[in-house]
Structure formats: structure tokens, C-alpha cells
């Protein structure tokens, strides 16, 4: 299939470029900026994109791609830092400028190719401190803002384009159309990246592995899709294990067992390990340590099961692209945001090989696969749930009281969203609790109780998220129920921080 390769120079938005391109059925892959010319040729791309990044091209340690990459005679698009690289490489001049962050009005000077059909002007998202002072010979300005006179440039002869703004973020109007113009019109890429094709390819690859597979299923969409793909490929050589770690949603362990037995013809085993997990988490407050402990304890349980029910060669997990990115083990120079138990928590002593069929996919792509595979809609439209469970929605030490509060309060939040017809319209919703307490009055008595934080966000891929503007009436209803139905809660707050700078989960 046709492929667009994105060279990652360290932008927080690098992976969003791939995500946006995949939206119009073209495969995009992220690689490190210092990939060799030979390795890049092996990928056989039909076009190349340089991502943004925090560096300045005139610094001595500025990241640069191998020089021969510019000579591949492939269409090239540079975004932000990538734009400045192109200017610098072809003889232009980049200078330090007034920092420009946020939305700016981009005026279109030429709409023949890259900016075709986007209108006379659009709001574009800027995030830069450098700009092109002088563009290279053979290039022309095709778009400008008040502060960036060469916000978009083009060498139509070479099919090379540079843009100072970020078309991959939702804040840029017509950003997807701009990327689509480059990928479909300039590169001529075929739209042959489909989830049906992915299923066929994944099943074919998995069918070639030897040995038995142990798949940890959580009841969530990711691990369920992994189990169904592997079962489709190797049948009875797969065993699915669900571990009740005590950190699940209210009564979730019963629902998961019933769902698998009623809907899927896979070998399914449920293990009660509540006491083991909660004992390991006693006294632990640091969120990274909690994530690592939960991940390692999962592996202990799986390894013990494998020893007595094996032999197994593989441990399958529902790892997704955002998990890999945030854990700092992606292909580019990404910083660690947080460890994911299925990525960052695997111990050295593990004697099972890891199988992660969804490692390159985003959540909405997994949902499409789930629908194709016949997963009940109630499951694939369910909100994402963190691998470490409520351990990362409980701030500070995990205690029985805080566990109970988080379970019941989160159920109230979900129930009220369903009642309002909003559950499937938001990305994620839950109630978190920490150690902060506040005074309340119940009846005529003073009560000193916990503070619960409601978190509801909108997103398309979990890479970025915005807090959901719920009505005051709905928030009031949630708050009243939580404080009335949970004895230990006196206050309810609502989180209004977006990602970034916040993350979706509190820990």
C-alpha cells in the first residue's frame, strides 16, 4: 500500500500528523528524524513530511535528517521546524522572531496546490519562536499571517512545501484538507489503508507464529479485539485470562465474565487476585510506582498461570499507539509522559515474548475493527479505561474507602451521562478521589469528608483532549447524587483542564 513517512523532530504533535492522514485511508508511519537514507528507501514512501520540534535550525546541535533524503525526488512537506529546515537547506534564512503561540489568521496568497479549496483565509495554529526571514530561490510565498510573512511556501517544480503552522491539530481550520491536498494531490497516494485490510494482514501475520498465546483481557475494547484477532488466526492455541485486580469499575468483573461467555467462543479463565494487588499497593503514593507495580503484578499472575497451564510462548496485550508514545518507547524523540502498565511495566525476568497486534493503531481505528468483528456495540462504544484501573484515578495511596468512593461516584457520572444521552458523545468520564477533605453539613451535623473530582473530556484519539462543557443542571445532578449517596463525600469539583497541559487521567 502507498505510505507517507513522517520524520519526527520531537514535536508534541508529531503523531497527530499520522493520525490525520490515516483518517482519509492513507497509511502514515512515524520514524526518527535520523533514519538513514537506505532505511527510508526500504519503506518506499510516496511522500515525506518533516514534523515540528522544539529546536532552532541555526543551533549547533539542531537535529537534521541525512542530506540524501532531500535528493529522493519525493514530495516533501515541512511543518513548523520542518518548514524552517527546508528554508535553511535550500539557501533561505531563518531568524529568531517574536514567539507566536495559538490561533492566527492565515491569508492564502496562492491556492493552486497545497492550499487549494481552503478559502481566502483560515485560522491556523502557531507554535514557534523562529520564522523564515528570506525564502530560498525557486520558492514562493503561498500564505502569510500578520507575524509570519512566509507562513506557507512552495517550490511547485520540486513538489516541496513548508508551512509554519500545524495543520494536524484540530485548532487549524481546514487542517485535514491541507494534509489531504499534499497526500492525495501532490503525492498521488492511493487510499488503500482500511481496517478490513488491517484485519486480513494481522490475521495472516499472527497465523505464522509458533507456540501458544496467553492473552490478558480486561473487558475493554483493546484487549477484546486483540483476543478476537488472535483467535481468528490460531484458534485453540489461544487462552484468554481475565485478572480481577480489585481496581475495576463497579461490578465490572461480573459483567466481563458474562460478556465473554455469552458473546465470544474463546477459552476464557477468570482469576481473582484482588488481595495480591491491593497488598502490593499499600502505602504507595507515587503514580509512576503504582503503574509499575500494577504492571508487574499482572505479569506475575500471567506467568504463574502460564507455568501451570502452558506451555505458552507469547503474552498478547492490547497496547495502542498512544500507549507507546506516552511511555517514551516510540520511534521518535518523545519525552515520557507516563508509563503504561502494558508498555513500561514489563520486567526483565519475563520469559514470554510479547505480541501486540494493535501497537500501531489509534483507539477509533480499533473501534472500527471491533465493529467489523461483530463485537457488541455496548462494548466498543464503552469509554476507555486505564490499564492500572482505579489506581491512577485514586490520587495518593489506594485505600478501601477511596476505592469504594471512586467506583460508586464514577458509576453515578456514567449513569447521568447515559440518562442525558451524552455518554457516547464524550470520550471519557469518571470520578477521581484523593486525600483532600472538606467540611460539609448533612442534616444539622458537620461532616468532614472527601472531595470528589469529576472529569469528562472530548477527544478523537487520546493524544489531545478538551474538557466537556456539561450543563450546570447536569453537573448539579451529579454532585447531588454523589454527596447524598456516598457517605464519605462532602464536596464535588469539576476538572476543566485540557490535554495538554493536563493528561486525561489524573495520574
Domain residue extents for the chain: 3-186, 195-380, 399-494
Task: Give the distance, in angstroms, between the CA of residue 442 and the centroid of all CA atoms in the same chain.
Answer: 42
CB-based contact 176:167 (threshold 8 Å): yes
- Given this model, what pLDDT does residue 390 score? 96
- Given this model, what pLDDT does residue 48 score? 98
Task: Give the distance, in angstroms, between the CA of residue 302 and the centroid of all CA atoms in the same chain.
Answer: 26
Average pLDDT over the chain, rounded to an integer: 90
For residues 214 and 309, what is the distance between their CA atoms, to the nearest angstrom?
10
- Given this model, what pLDDT does residue 347 score? 61
- Given this model, what pLDDT does residue 329 score? 46
Cell for 34? 535520523
Among 381, 362, 353, 284, which Cα is nearest to 323's? Answer: 362
Q: CA-CA distances (angstroms) from residue 400 to 235, 271, 481?
A: 40, 20, 21
pLDDT band at 178 (very low <50, low <70, confident <90, very high): very high
For residues 322 and 16, what is the distance between their CA atoms, to the nearest angstrom?
10
Among 241, 356, 365, which Cα is nearest to 308's? Answer: 241
CATH of 399-494, picked from 3.40.1110.10, 3.20.20.70, 3.40.50.200, 3.30.300.10, is 3.30.300.10
Fold assignment, 3-186:
Rossmann fold (3.40.50)
The predicted model gives 442-460 an average pLDDT of 89
Residue 76 pLDDT greater than 90, yes or no: yes
Domain spanning 195-380 has what CATH number?
3.40.50.620
How many helices and strands, by DSSP H and E, does the chain display? 14, 18
pLDDT band at 330 (very low <50, low <70, confident <90, very high): very low
- Given this model, what pLDDT does residue 333 score? 45
pLDDT band at 374 (very low <50, low <70, confident <90, very high): confident
Structure-model confidence comparison of residues 365 and 342, the more confident one: 365
Q: Name 110's bridge partners.
A: none
DSSP string covering 338-377, please? ---TTTT---TT--SEEE-TTTT--HHHHHHHHHHTT--H
Residue 101 pLDDT greater than 80, yes or no: no
Return the active site residues: 80, 166, 168
pLDDT band at 168 (very low <50, low <70, confident <90, very high): very high
Task: Give the distance, in angstroms, between the CA of residue 101 and the centroid of all CA atoms in the same chain.
Answer: 23
Q: Which of 105-114, 190-199, 327-336, 429-438 has the lowest mean pLDDT?
A: 327-336
Q: What is the 3-state secondary structure (H, E, C) of 108-167?
A: ECCCCCCCCCCCCEEEEEEEEEEEEEECCCCCEEEEECCCCCCCEEEECCCCEEEECCCC
195-380 and 399-494: same fold? no
- Given this model, what pLDDT does residue 349 score? 66
For residues 69 and 76, what is the distance between their CA atoms, to the nearest angstrom?
10
pTM, two decimal places = 0.75
- 459 phi, psi to nearest 5 deg: -160, 170
Structure-model confidence comparison of residues 103 and 92, the more confident one: 92
Amino acid at each position: 500500500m502507498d505510505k507517507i513517512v513522517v520524520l519526527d523532530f520531537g514535536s508534541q504533535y508529531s503523531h497527530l500528523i499520522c493520525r490525520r492522514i490515516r483518517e482519509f485511508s492513507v497509511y502514515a508511519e512515524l520514524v526518527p528524524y535520523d533514519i538513514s537514507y537506505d532505511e527510508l528507501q526500504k519503506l518506499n514512501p510516496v511522500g515525506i513530511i518533516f514534523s515540528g520540534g522544539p529546536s532552532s535550525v541555526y543551533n549547533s546541535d539542531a537535529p537534521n535528517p541525512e542530506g540524501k533524503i532531500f535528493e529522493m525526488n519525493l514530495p516533501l512537506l515541512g511543518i513548523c521546524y520542518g518548514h524552517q529546515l527546508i528554508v535553511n537547506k535550500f539557501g533561505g534564512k531563518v531568524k529568531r522572531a517574536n514567539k507566536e503561540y495559538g490561533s492566527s489568521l492565515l491569508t492564502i496568497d496562492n491556492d493552486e496546490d497545497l492550499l487549494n479549496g481552503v478559502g481566502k483565509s483560515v485560522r491556523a495554529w502557531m507554535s514557534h519562536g523562529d520564522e523564515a526571514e528570506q525564502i530560498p530561490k525557486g520558492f514562493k510565498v503561498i500564505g502569510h499571517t500578520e507575524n509570519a510573512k512566509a507562513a506557507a511556501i512552495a517550490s511547485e517544480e520540486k513538489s516541496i512545501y513548508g508551512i509554519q503552522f500545524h495543520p494536524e491539530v484540530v485548532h487549524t481550520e481546514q487542517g485535514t484538507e491541507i494534509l489531504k491536498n499534499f497526500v492525495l494531490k501532490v503525492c498521488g497516494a492511493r487510499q488503500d489503508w482500511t481496517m478490513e485490510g488491517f484485519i486480513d494482514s494481522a490475521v495472516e501475520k499472527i497465523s505464522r507464529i509458533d507456540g501458544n498465546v496467553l492473552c490478558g483481557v480486561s473487558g475493554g475494547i483493546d484487549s477484546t479485539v486483540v483476543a478476537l484477532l488472535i483467535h481468528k488466526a490460531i484458534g485453540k492455541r489461544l487462552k484468554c485470562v481475565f485478572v480481577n485486580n480489585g481496581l475495576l469499575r463497579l461490578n465490572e468483573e461480573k459483567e466481563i465474565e458474562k460478556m465473554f461467555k455469552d458473546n465470544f467462543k474463546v477459552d476464557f479463565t477468570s482469576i481473582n487476585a484482588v488481595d495480591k494487588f491491593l497488598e502490593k499497593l499499600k502505602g504507595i503514593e507515587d503514580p509512576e510506582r503504582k503503574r509499575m507495580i500494577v504492571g508487574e503484578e499482572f505479569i506475575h499472575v500471567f506467568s504463574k498461570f502460564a507455568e501451570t497451564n502452558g506451555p505458552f510462548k507469547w503474552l498478547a496485550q492490547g497496547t495502542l499507539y498512544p500507549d507507546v508514545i506516552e511511555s517514551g518507547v516510540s520511534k521518535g524523540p518523545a519525552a515520557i509522559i507516563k508509563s503504561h502498565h502494558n508498555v513500561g511495566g514489563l520486567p526483565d525476568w519475563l520469559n514470554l515474548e510479547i505480541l501486540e497486534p494493535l501497537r500501531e493503531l489509534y483507539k477509533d481505528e480499533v473501534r472500527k475493527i471491533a465493529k467489523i468483528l461483530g463485537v457488541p456495540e455496548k462494548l466498543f462504544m464503552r469509554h476507555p479505561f486505564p490499564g492500572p484501573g482505579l489506581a491512577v484515578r485514586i490520587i495518593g495511596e489506594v485505600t478501601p474507602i477511596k476505592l469504594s468512593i471512586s467506583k460508586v461516584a464514577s458509576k453515578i457520572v456514567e449513569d447521568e451521562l447515559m440518562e442525558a444521552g451524552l455518554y457516547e458523545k464524550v470520550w471519557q468520564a469518571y470520578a477521581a478521589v484523593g486525600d483532600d477533605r472538606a467540611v460539609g453539613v448533612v442534616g444539622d451535623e458537620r461532616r468532614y469528608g472527601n472531595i470528589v473530582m469529576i472529569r469528562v473530556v472530548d477527544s478523537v484519539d487520546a493524544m489531545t483532549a478538551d474538557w466537556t462543557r456539561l450543563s450546570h443542571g447536569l453537573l448539579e445532578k451529579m454532585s447531588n447524587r454523589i454527596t447524598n449517596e456516598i457517605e464519605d463525600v462532602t464536596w464535588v469539583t469539576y476538572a476543566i483542564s485540557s490535554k495538554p497541559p493536563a493528561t486525561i487521567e489524573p495520574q
